[in-house]
Amino acid sequence: MRTVTNLYLANLAAIDLLYLLSVSLAISVLTLTATSVDRYYAIIHPVRSRTTRTSRRAQTT
């Protein structure tokens, strides 16, 4: 079944899959970056980070 419609649908499915993979990769990188920044802030500024790292603030952001 090599019709134009089937090739078009297969192409759309492949592009959607590639887009999903790239979005997933970007989210993973952003999560690792946020975790690294949080740990850096907790190590370099331990007193200040305890006042800014509260459960209330975590729920609102």
Indicate the number of domains in the chain.
Answer: 1
How much is the pTM? 0.63
The per-residue pLDDT for range 15-61, each reduced to its tens digit, is: 999 999 999 999 999 999 999 998 998 899 888 877 777 788 777 65
**Domain extent for 28:** 4-60
CB-CB contact of 22 with 15 (8 Å): no
Radius of gyration of the chain (CA): 21
Is residue 14 within a helix (H) or strand (E), and if so which, with residue range? helix 4-44
Tokens representing residue 44 in the block: 């370099």
pLDDT tier at 1 (50, 70, 90 boundaries)?
low
CA distance 38 to 35: 5
pLDDT of residue 11: 94
CB-CB contact of 43 with 35 (8 Å): no
